[in-house]
Structures are given as C-alpha cells and as structure tokens.
Structure 1
Amino acid sequence: MNALAATSRNFKQAAKLLGLDSKLEKSLLIPFREIKVECTIPKDDGTLASYVGFRVQHDNARGPMKGGIRYHHEVDPDEVNALAQLMTWKTAVANIPYGGAKGGIGCSPGDLSISELERLTRVFTQKIHDLIGIHTDVPAPDMGTNSQTMAWILDEYSKFHGYSPAVVTGKPVDLGGSLGRDAATGRGVLFATEALLAEHGKGIAGQRFVIQGFGNVGSWAAQLISEAGGKVIAISDVTGAVKNSNGLDIAKLMKHSSENRGIKGFDGGDAIDPRSLLTEECDVLIPAALGGVINKDNANEIKAKYIIEAANHPTDPEADEASTSDSIWQTNTPTATKCTICLKCFLSEFLLQILSKKGVLILPDILANSGGVTVSYFEWVQNIQGFMWDEEKVNNELKTYMTRGFRDVKEMCRSHHCDLRMGAFTLGVNRVARATVLRGWEA
C-alpha cells in the first residue's frame, strides 16, 4: 500500500470513529492547493538540467500550512500528498497553530554540487514565492535538505518580500534559527518514548533499543537514549548495520560515521545484515529511516515490545493490523460495538487477543516524530516576536508539548475504544474538523 493510500485509509477510519459528516470528510481529505513546477538550471559543466518540484498545501483551518521540503529521486505527487496530509494531523496532535503542507524536488542531491543545489533551490523558490509566506505556508528541511537550503530559500524569498526570517524554519542560528532545532525530532522521540514507557511503569534506563537509520533523527535519538541510560544494541544506515548486545558506544559510532560517511566498518560491534535489523530481539524498536519498512512480510518476525515510529509512515497498515497489539487500549470496548456475525471481524478479534499477549505497542509517527515541527513552531514564534529563547527553555517546552500530546492521544484511545494510531488520528482529525466548522464551513 503506497503512502497516500495508507494515510487516507487511516484518516477515513478516524472519520468513521468520529462520525463525521460525509461532505466534511471529503472536504478535509482534498488538498487546499497542489503546485507542480519545472526547475531548469545550468549545471557546472554548462549543460542544462530540468527537475520537477512539488508543493502540496493540504489544510489551513488551524493556521499557516507547515511542512518540509525534501530532495530525493523518488519524490512524486502521491508521496508529497500523503506527507502533506500527515502534517495536517501531526500539527493538530501536537496542538500547535498550523495546518499541513509538504514539498519536494525529484533529484538526487548527492549527484549535485553545492552551487547546483543552490541554483536549484533558488529557482524553485522563485516559482513558489508568491504561494508561501509567514502566515500562509512555512517550509522546513526534510530528507536531502538542511539549514543551508533554508537559508537560500529565506534569501531568495526576501528579494521579493523583504527580509522575512519567519518564512522558513530550520534555519542556521545566525539567521534566526532556534537553538535545539537540530536535535528536536530525536529529542521528541526520547520524550514520547519516556511517556509511553512510564504508562507501563518503566523508564528508558535498562531498556534495549534497536534503531533503523542513523541520520539526523536516528543519531540524536541514539545519543539521547544512551545518555538517559538506555542500551542501544543495534543500528543501521544505508551503508550497513552493526550490533553489540552489551550496548554500542554511540559517541564513538557517531565519530566513525562522520569520518567514514556511514557506520560500515565500525569495530565496536559485529556487522549484521541490515535486512535483519528490524527483527532483532529488543525492548524498543525505532524505525527512523524510510516509510513502509515494517510490512506483512516481516511483521510476524518483530520481537520488540514497543515500536516508536520516528520515520514517516514506517508501518504499512496491513502490517499494523497483522503485527501489533495496540488493542490493549481497547480492552473495555463495549460488545455492542463489535460485529457478531462477520467472520473477518471474529478472526481479527481472535488475532488481536493473541497479539495482545505478545505485547507489541506502536506509538504512531504523527505523535512520535512531532518534536521537529514543534520546535519549528517555537522558532517561528521567536522570529515573529524578535526574541530568542535559550536552549533550556526550548527543550523544556518541547517536553511539555510531547508529554501533553501523549496524554491527549491516550484520552482519545479511551473515549473511542481504539488503538494508539487511531487515538492520534482521531485527535488530529477532530481538532481540524472543529476548526473548519467554527470558521464557517457549511455542508
């Protein structure tokens, strides 16, 4: 199931639980605006190259649309649409005053020089500058982009609209970026994990973690979890995977990765097949790379007790149904709400009872990885106020937001007798639906 189909499916299930009017449901699902532009640039060798750029602005009922811009060769309209929709629900779950958007350019950034990347970014900004803005749509970094990319967008946008630091987040600190932003998503993963474990009388210390992905999110999560007493026993990235049952030395691994552009060859553990990483025995599994990595083919082999979705859409819905026991949150579901004649429902309920004993709980991406957009909101606020926060304030506020988000999701789980994923989706969709109606939507 592709990302758009999976995201739409989760939305429709949440809409059904909430009893949304069918017309309102359709209105919430359709994007506000879809943008597709051609970006032609001169290469360093004098030839011309053309790339296709996208920006999908999904919803602005709760505030300016917000979402990253990714540079990746697999960027396509379906992916961007799915991620824009996820951002709408994610910002609502985090309870920050934003809507959702996403953008990208179909390119391989590793094949482009710095000057080519700058030219591409500036041309893309020229094509969309009149459709983004401080109170309209605020881009941020994503896969294949970084603070330098945001600096180029800020500079190009400012040529048309005057100096506007709040038009993007994830900027360099010297241009108004927020302290703590680099670590924000990884730190949010830590806080979300702490909240989930605390619900079961546990803490980070002493738990065994496996992390797929060692980019910005995975590396910060690994470092912070290790500092909190967690034992990170296996990690993978695009170059390979390494395991040490006694716990990896994360500081040394980060140094090795920086010097060798990947974790391959690290001598502080045993090299393992990256494909087996997800099925390593552990307490907490953190997929922090690409989407769709947990699917029906490997779901039954997952040995973790908890899955924290640090990546966007890492769990395919079919795997979600086949491998998780989030039903622990719905053990008090009234029997009147269950189908008593449908064989499929009977078998699903039987399967959930088996998996409940297995004890796998999934903390969904729209809560688990919302630390990045939350600190982006803090950055935007600082830019508008012209008053910068110290890093301690940023981190303390982030913990407050992440902990409150988990509490709110748990309440929705109890109110609607659903799992954590549906708890998060019903929370986000309900907040957006209410804002839409309050602003004057009519059926």
Structure 2
Amino acid sequence: MVIEMVNPYDVAVHQFDEAAERLGLSQAMRAILRKPKRELIVNFPVRMDNGDVEMFTGYRVQHNINRGPAKGGIRYSPAVSLDEVRALAMWMTWKCAVVDIPFGGAKGGVICDPHLMSSAELERMTRRYTTEISLLIGPDSDIPAPDMNTNPQIMGWIMDTYSMHRGYSVPAVTTGKPLAIGGSEGRLEATARGVQVVTREAIRDKGWQPENCSVVVQGFGNVGGIAARLLHEMGCKVVGISDISGGLYNPNGIDVPAAMRHSRRNGSLKGYAEADAVSNTELLELPCDILIPAALENQLTERNAPRIKARLIVEAANGPTTNEADAILNDMGVTLIPDILANAGGVTVSYFEWVQDLQRFFWAEDEINNRLEMIMKRSYKAVKTKADEQEVNMRMGAYLLAVARVAEATEIRGVYP
C-alpha cells in the first residue's frame, strides 16, 4: 500500500484551521479546539507465552467532550504513534458532530504487532492496557470500540476487565462487543452500511445508475469487504479489490461473494483466479467511476492524485487523503465524500449499542439498520446542502457543519472556572 510519511495530526489540524477561518471562530475557540483535552501515555509489562516479560506502550487521547462522553476506537499496530492517535481523536470529534450524536472524540492504541502474538498474549496485553487506561474510560466518560486489528473479542476482554474492577458488569463501557455480552445487532456491518448509503445518495445526486457504475475498493476487511459486497448487491460492478497481499482487477466485474469465500478459506485474496493481480499502488489508479479507500491513512497523495481516474471518492478509511491530494482532486473536479461523514456508520451504531446497554433493552436488526439509514441520509443531505450554500467541496461542508456544532457547545458551556 502507498503510505507516505505525512503526520496525520498535521493533516487534521490543517483541516480544522481551514474550517475555523471560514467560520470566523475567535482566537480563544481556535485555541481550545485545536488541542486534545487529555492525553494518557502508558508503559506496561506483559508476560509472554515463553515466560519473558515485554514492555508495551499504549495511548488514550480525548480530543473534546463538550457534546458528550468521549467515543473512539482502539487500534493495535506497530505504526501506532501519539500524533496518529491525536489525529484520529480529533476526527472522531467531528465525525460524531457531523451525524449529530451526543459524543465527543477519543482514540486509543498500543504499539504492537498482533499478528505475531498468540491469543493468550493478546488477552494479557489487552487486560493490562485496559487497567492502565481505566483512569479515563467508563460508560459515562469514554467508551472504546474496535479499530484496526481489534475486534469484538478484544472489546469483550476490555469490558470484562473494567467490570472486574467495579465488581459488577458494565456492558456500556465498550461498543462493538459480542452479542452475548451486550453487543448490538448490525454493529459488525455498520461502517460499511454507512459507506453504502452515502455512496448511493451521491450516485443519485449525480444522476447515475448503480448498474452503470464501476467501483474499486482498497481494503477487504470488515469495512472494505462488506462495502464491496453491499455495493455489488446494489447492482454496481466491482472491478477492483485488495487486501494486504495485493490487489485484483477484472474490468468485467468481480464476483464479490466468491472472492470473500476465497479470502476466508485462504486467509487472503492472493491466488483468486477470476481476476488479474495488481499492486495496491496500481489499484488506486485503475479506471473506475467510484474509488473507495478502506485501508490506511495517506493513500491518496500529491504523487498519485493526478493519476486517479475515479469521478467519485468515498473515504471509508480514516484520513486516506493528504491535504495536497485533496487540493489536486478538487481541481480535477472529483467529488469526494470525506471520512468524517462516509465512515460514520460505525460510531452511529456504536451509539445505538451504548443506548441499548444503558437501558438494558435491545432492538431488532431491522430497526437498527433503518435508524442508521435515516441518520446517514440526513447527514449526507446536511453536508451537501452546506457545501452548496457555501460553494465549497464536501469535506469543507462537513467540517463547517461539525466544527460549528462543537464550537456552539463549547461556547454555551464556557471556560471553567
């Protein structure tokens, strides 16, 4: 995958500064919203299966909590850094505000390679990390969720560890949990379903027909794989997909369910015979109508942006487009649906899960999907209207909407003491 050394926090702050300037925010408001509220760095030991003790470094950052408890995922990766977590926390603040749910933004991570760790090692590391960040997390203060290389089982371990400290079960401390311990129907597909909804709305706005749209999806995990399947079911022709092993291209269309079965059977897309192998770099530049980056940040840069052929880009990943690429794509007339809108389906259904856990009352999957669709359609329309009114692109429209909502809450609450 194309990953350039761009500091994601610099990208996030630049995006905020541009919106703040257009909104005419005061110096005081800019100073408050530019900085995370809290940053916790923890270094902790974990006993490995061979008896050795290794030290791990983890982070939990809360960017802003003026609209409600902090909300944001936890990722496990060798590439985790404090600035990455800061950026992701800031984006979560705007994401929750765009879809108008009562959360602030947070994010967490541990520097590790989970692929080199056993399940027992992952559990011990997760439980110790949870204990270290239990200063911050809680059902009324900061609610973690899955992110890169974390899953419902890891959320279950976090929930159980936190509950052990309290002496009673606290299911609302995490979202994205297994159903058996308070998880929500529809949560696993939520991010991808949100991507599908905003893509469908954009297709309608452009007067396109799904069956005439070719789609390339970078990333074939829980977001990219399910988004590819949902768009395939909608009638779009998915011509390109990829995972960590590389990409696949078939201009006549890929049978997405068959590719998913191959991936589950073999552990990756590698060797799938019904499409030609391409690199992840080549994948982004394939001829298509719609490009969906659903992998890592910094995938669309000033180097490859001029060669992008898609006319619509939907950011299923967080921060896949650098500021320089944004400007190039905008000048090329490419419509881009930003991450803080496009992938907000996950946090929206996380909100539903949190509400269900607090009430001890659970909804049917149809109700959850219907509520998600309503919120994503409403949010897409609000962003599009704002962008058209202000004669700006969709990213700036989303930022103007989100930053204004957070600034209003901050202004009303005032500066303590």
Please state which band the TM-score falls in when normalised by the shorter chain.
over 0.9
Partner residue in 1 for 2:202:
196
Q: In the alignment, residue 124 of structure 1 is paired with which amino acid? A: Y
Residue pair 1:194, 1:203 contacting (<8 A) in 2 also = no
- Mapping of 1:16-415 within 5 angstroms? 16-161=21-166, 162-324=168-330, 352=331, 355-356=332-333, 360-415=334-389
Residue deviations 1:220-260, cap 9 Å, x none?
00110111111100111110111111111111100110111
Task: Compute the displacement of 1:131 (Å).
Answer: 1.3
The separation in 2 between residues aligned to 1:6 and 1:35, in whole angstroms, is 22
Matched residues, percent identical?
A: 48
1:15 aligns with 2:20: yes
Q: Please give the secondary structure, in 1, of the residue aligned with 2:207.
A: coil
The separation in 2 between residues aligned to 1:8 and 1:307, in whole angstroms, is 22
The separation in 2 between residues aligned to 1:252 and 1:411, in whole angstroms, is 39
Q: Please give the secondary structure, in 2, of the residue aligned with 1:314.
A: coil
Q: TM-score, with normalisation over the residues of structure 1?
A: 0.91
Bigger Rg, structure 1 or 2 = 1
Residue pair 1:378, 1:394 contacting (<8 A) in 2 also = yes
Residue pair 1:169, 1:379 contacting (<8 A) in 2 also = yes
Q: Please give the secondary structure, in 2, of the residue aligned with 1:130.
A: coil
Q: In the alignment, residue 235 of structure 1 is paired with which amino acid? A: I
The separation in 2 between residues aligned to 1:402 and 1:441, in whole angstroms, is 32
Residue deviations 1:134-160, cap 9 Å, x none?
110000000010000000000000011
Q: Please give the secondary structure, in 2, of the residue aligned with 1:62.
A: coil
Q: Please give the secondary structure, in 1, of the residue aligned with 2:239.
A: strand
Q: Please give the secondary structure, in 2, of the residue aligned with 1:216.
A: coil
Deviates more, 1:234-243 or 1:365-374: 234-243
Q: In the alignment, residue 68 of structure 2 is paired with which amino acid? A: G
Residue pair 1:17, 1:416 contacting (<8 A) in 2 also = no
The separation in 2 between residues aligned to 1:258 and 1:138, in whole angstroms, is 30
Q: TM-score, with normalisation over the residues of structure 2?
A: 0.97
The separation in 2 between residues aligned to 1:280 and 1:364, in whole angstroms, is 20
Q: In the alignment, residue 360 of structure 2 is paired with which amino acid? A: G
The separation in 2 between residues aligned to 1:405 and 1:203, in whole angstroms, is 22
The separation in 2 between residues aligned to 1:191 and 1:279, in whole angstroms, is 24
Q: Please give the secondary structure, in 2, of the residue aligned with 1:286.
A: strand
The separation in 1 between residues aligned to 2:266 and 2:278, in whole angstroms, is 18
Task: Compute the displacement of 1:442 (Å).
Answer: 7.7
Q: In the alignment, residue 300 of structure 2 is paired with which amino acid? A: I
The separation in 2 between residues aligned to 1:441 and 1:406, in whole angstroms, is 32
The separation in 1 between residues aligned to 2:211 and 2:360, in whole angstroms, is 39
Residue deviations 1:280-331, cap 9 Å, x none?
000100000011010010010000010000000001110110122xxxxxxx
Gaps of 5+ in 2: 1-5
Residue deviations 1:347-395, cap 9 Å, x none?
xxxxx3xx23xxx111000000000000000100111111111111111
1:440 aligns with 2:406: no
Deviates more, 1:207-216 or 1:433-442: 433-442
The separation in 1 between residues aligned to 2:416 and 2:335, in whole angstroms, is 39
Residue deviations 1:168-223, cap 9 Å, x none?
00000111101111111111100010111111122433310000000110000011
The separation in 2 between residues aligned to 1:67 and 1:203, in whole angstroms, is 35
Identify if the C-alpha distance between structure 1 residues 183 and 8 changes in structure 2 by more than 3 Å, giving closer, same or farther. same
Q: Please give the secondary structure, in 1, of the residue aligned with 2:143.
A: strand
Partner residue in 1 for 2:3:
none
The separation in 2 between residues aligned to 1:417 and 1:62, in whole angstroms, is 28
The separation in 2 between residues aligned to 1:48 and 1:236, in whole angstroms, is 36
Name the Cα RMSD after superposition: 1.1
Q: In the alignment, residue 369 of structure 1 is paired with which amino acid? A: N
Give the 4+ runs in structure 1 shifted more than 3 A: none
Q: In the alignment, residue 366 of structure 2 is paired with which amino acid? A: E
Task: Compute the displacement of 1:414 (Å).
Answer: 2.7
Residue deviations 1:63-117, cap 9 Å, x none?
0000000000010100000000000000000110000000000000001100000
Partner residue in 2 for 1:327:
none
